[in-house]
Amino acid sequence: MSYTLRSGVMCAISAAALSICAAAWAATPAETQKVRHEHYEKLGENFKAVRDLSKASPTDFAKLEKAAADVREASVNQAQWFPKGSGPEAGKTRALPEIWTKPADFAAAAKMFEERAPALLAAAKAKDLDAVNKAFREVGGACKNCHDTFRAPEE
Ligand code: ASC
């Protein structure tokens, strides 16, 4: 369960309620861009935390599992972060127009991450660092796959 605060309303987002909640949620395109940016930045931090924790010796498996769980949660329903109108037309963003002009390809890229993330969490739960490293590389490949087509390079 994740929560998003919009216009003073706490949206409790379950998988079923998500589309309704997400629709109510994006106040302005600029605000959508901002919360999207923060969301993916936090995902990057959690992903790097998984890597760093997997290399620490001894590692903190509770922290590793929490970071992996947050990565997994971020992999679900990514479409919510990309409502129509929140691309470059709405302000400075590295989200490319292809997200909206090639929706099937974008959905496939998002699905790749969603399908690979559970193995990372399972490996962390199992305290299996070899499996964590393998899943980390696979999830990283999904990040890169999407970024190659749908995210502009850093300026
Ligand atoms: C990260 C991060 C990404 C991905 C990507 C994987 O840690 O911030 O965007 O990994 O570089 O290839």
Q: Which residues contact 47 (CB under 8 A, 6 or more apart)?
A: 67, 71, 136, 139, 140, 143
Right CATH number for 26-150 from 3.40.50.720, 1.20.120.10, 3.90.550.10, 1.10.3720.10? 1.20.120.10
Distance 7 CA to ligand 1 centre (A): 31
Domain map of the chain by residue range? 26-150
Output the CA–CA distances (angstroms, integers) from residue 65 to 45, 47, 69, 84, 118, in the order listed: 14, 11, 6, 34, 11
Structure tokens at 76: 């679900």
Cβ–ligand 1 distance for 91 under 6 Å, the answer no
Using the mean position of ligand 1's atoms as its centre, give its distance from the Cα of residue 77 in Å: 19
pLDDT of residue 2: 47
Atom 11 (ligand 1) nearest CA? 144
pTM of the full structure: 0.85
The best mutation among 144, 145, 148 to test binding of ligand 1, ranked by most ligand atoms within 8 Å of the C-beta, falls on: 144
Looking at residue 14, its pLDDT comes to 54
- Tokens for 86, please give them: 């929140």
Give the integer Cα–Cα distance in Å for 45 and 71.
9
The Cα 47–Cα 112 span in angstroms is 16
Tens-digit pLDDT profile for residues 99-112: 999 999 999 999 99
DSSP 8-state symbol, 83: -
> Which residues, given as ranges, of the chain have pLDDT below 70?
1-26
CA–centroid distance, 8 to ligand 1, in Å, is: 33
